[in-house]
């Protein structure tokens, strides 16, 4: 039965929703926690954020995960103005397949986004952007210190003037983003080498990651750069309550939290991510989780130690694990609403589906 479920997922995902978000190097399950998790072994693909997580004891010897996410912004004025395709604002969809065996893992991600929405009569037009990435991870170590390395190869492509008719929104979206021809951006192809460290004290973990200590773009030679290490330097901590009690009985409630600083040396991409998960554990593979997260851009180093709700995004998600199937729905909104101030950040929604074997 599991094989038939997996076969169905692999057949449907590439054909139906072949796209997604800008690369965020985070587990597919961590969206509700603000994509935090550099030091948190939250899901089977958590190593995407930090390869050192692969070496943690207790992970399954082999694991296969197929996941899909769809996200879009919410713009109420499009509905009020009776514009074409009011529910298709800047859609992003993402599918990923990851396989891990011991301390090795291989992941394929395909992500496509539509942007620059324009209205033309009874249709809307967009510019399409696609990213495809292959990632290899390896990790080793002994408690309490673990080390991991990752190799990522990615390619990007564009397709301008994608037309979506108002009367056939769903069909046009599927056809135009999966069958339509995208032009490769040769200069954007690159290979990057990353590394991660993890300090594990069971309930408390700390991770340090650099996603790009060496890289090569297109046909250029490999560059090892200290500046690149600093710009992509991430630091994070996590806390977690135990899954089982002293008598090996499942705790009814499990709480996990994560706090990350990303791209510490980059004024353009520096970010704070934090989140908390409260899980109701019904059985080892049956649970319901409430996830709450927060993300904020940090333009200057001094912003790291303060909060500015005018730049923040709050996320909330409900996650249900039903044996091998995990379903999640989420909602995000700008924290500028708390201040009653205007913002360029739109609210958004997310749905995700994952099969884990």
Bigger pLDDT: 292 or 6? 292
Q: Is the pLDDT of residue 2 over 50?
A: no
Cβ pair 40, 238 in contact under 8 A: yes
3-state secondary structure of 20: coil
Q: What's the rounded mean pLDDT across residues 241-256? A: 93
| Minimum mean pLDDT range among 75-79, 202-206, 349-353 | 75-79
Count of the separate structural domains present in the chain: 1
In the prediction, which pLDDT does 267 show? 86
In the prediction, which pLDDT does 20 show? 29
In the prediction, which pLDDT does 4 show? 39
In the prediction, which pLDDT does 18 show? 28
53 φ, ψ (degrees, to nearest 5): -65, -20
pLDDT interval class at 29 (50, 70, 90): confident
Tokens of 49: 């954020």
| Minimum mean pLDDT range among 1-10, 65-74, 117-126 | 1-10
Cβ pair 67, 352 in contact under 8 A: yes
Determine the Cα–Cα distance for residues 312 and 335; give it in Å rounded to an integer: 5
Determine the Cα–Cα distance for residues 275 and 207; give it in Å rounded to an integer: 15
What residues contact 195, with CB distance under 8 A and at least 6 apart? 51, 147, 148, 149, 150, 209, 210, 213
Cβ pair 105, 54 in contact under 8 A: yes
In the prediction, which pLDDT does 23 show? 53
Q: Is the pLDDT of residue 14 over 60?
A: no
In the prediction, which pLDDT does 24 show? 62
**Taking the CA atoms of the chain, what radius of gyration do you get in angstroms?**
20
Percentage of the chain exceeding pLDDT 90: 59
In the prediction, which pLDDT does 178 show? 86
Question: Which H or E run contains 7?
Answer: helix 2-16
CATH number at residue 131: 2.40.160
Q: What's the rounded mean pLDDT across residues 2-26? A: 39
46 φ, ψ (degrees, to nearest 5): -60, -25
In the prediction, which pLDDT does 228 show? 85
pLDDT interval class at 17 (50, 70, 90): very low
Residue by residue, what is the 3-state secondary structure of 301-328?
Answer: HHHHHCCCHHHEEEEEEEEEEECCEEEE
How large is the greatest C-alpha to C-alpha distance in the chain, in angstroms? 67
Q: Is the pLDDT of residue 229 over 80?
A: yes
> Domain containing 136: what range?
2-356
170-192 tens-digit pLDDT: 999 999 888 888 888 877 788 89
In the prediction, which pLDDT does 25 show? 65
| Cα within 13 Å of Cα(30), Cβ side | 30
pLDDT interval class at 44 (50, 70, 90): confident
CA 24 distance to own-chain centroid:
5
What's the whole-number average pLDDT of the chain? Answer: 87
Determine the Cα–Cα distance for residues 255 and 278; give it in Å rounded to an integer: 5
Determine the Cα–Cα distance for residues 2 and 357; give it in Å rounded to an integer: 7
Q: What's the rounded mean pLDDT across residues 326-331? A: 95
Determine the Cα–Cα distance for residues 238 and 255; give it in Å rounded to an integer: 11
Q: What's the rounded mean pLDDT across residues 92-106? A: 91
266-324 tens-digit pLDDT: 888 899 999 999 999 999 899 999 999 999 999 888 888 888 899 999 999 999 999 99
Q: Is the pLDDT of residue 58 over 80?
A: no
What residues contact 173, with CB distance under 8 A and at least 6 apart? 88, 91, 164
Q: Rounded to two decimals, what is the model's pTM?
A: 0.84
């Amino acid at each position: 039965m599991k094989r038939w479920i997996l076969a169905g997922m692999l057949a449907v995902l590439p054909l139906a929703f072949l796209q997604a978000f800008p690369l965020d190097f985070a587990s597919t399950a961590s969206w509700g926690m603000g994509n935090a998790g550099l030091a948190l072994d939250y899901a089977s693909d958590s190593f995407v954020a930090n390869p050192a997580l692969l070496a943690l004891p207790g992970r399954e010897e082999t694991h296969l995960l197929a996941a899909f996410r769809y996200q879009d912004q919410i713009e109420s004025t499009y509905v009020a103005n009776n514009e074409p395709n009011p529910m298709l604002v800047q859609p992003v969809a993402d599918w990923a397949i990851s396989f891990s065996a011991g301390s090795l893992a291989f992941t394929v991600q395909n992500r496509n986004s539509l942007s620059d929405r324009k209205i033309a009569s009874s249709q809307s037009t967009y510019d399409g952007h696609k990213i495809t990435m292959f990632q290899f991870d390896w990790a080793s170590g002994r408690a309490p210190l673990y080390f991991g390395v990752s190799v990522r190869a990615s390619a990007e492509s564009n397709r301008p003037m994608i037309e979506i008719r108002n009367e056939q929104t769903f069909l046009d979206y599927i056809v135009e983003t999966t069958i339509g021809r995208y032009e490769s951006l040769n200069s954007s192809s690159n290979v990057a080498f990353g590394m991660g460290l993890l300090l594990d004290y069971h309930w408390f973990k700390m991770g340090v990651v650099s996603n790009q200590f060496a890289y090569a773009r297109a046909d250029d030679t490999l560059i090892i750069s200290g500046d690149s290490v600093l710009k992509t330097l991430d630091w994070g901590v996590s806390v977690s309550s135990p899954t089982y009690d002293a008598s090996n009985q499942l705790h009814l409630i499990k709480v996990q939290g994560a706090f990350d600083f990303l791209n510490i040396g980059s004024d353009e991409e520096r970010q704070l991510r934090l989140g908390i998960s409260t899980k109701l554990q019904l059985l080892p593979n049956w649970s319901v989780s409430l996830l709450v997260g927060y993300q904020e851009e940090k333009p200057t180093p001094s912003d790291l130690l303060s909060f500015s709700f005018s730049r923040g995004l709050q996320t909330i998600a409900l996650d249900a694990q039903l044996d091998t199937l995990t379903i999640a729905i989420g909602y995000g909104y700008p924290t500028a609403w708390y201040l009653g101030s205007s913002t360029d950040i739109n609210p958004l929604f997310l749905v995700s589906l994952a099969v884990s074997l």
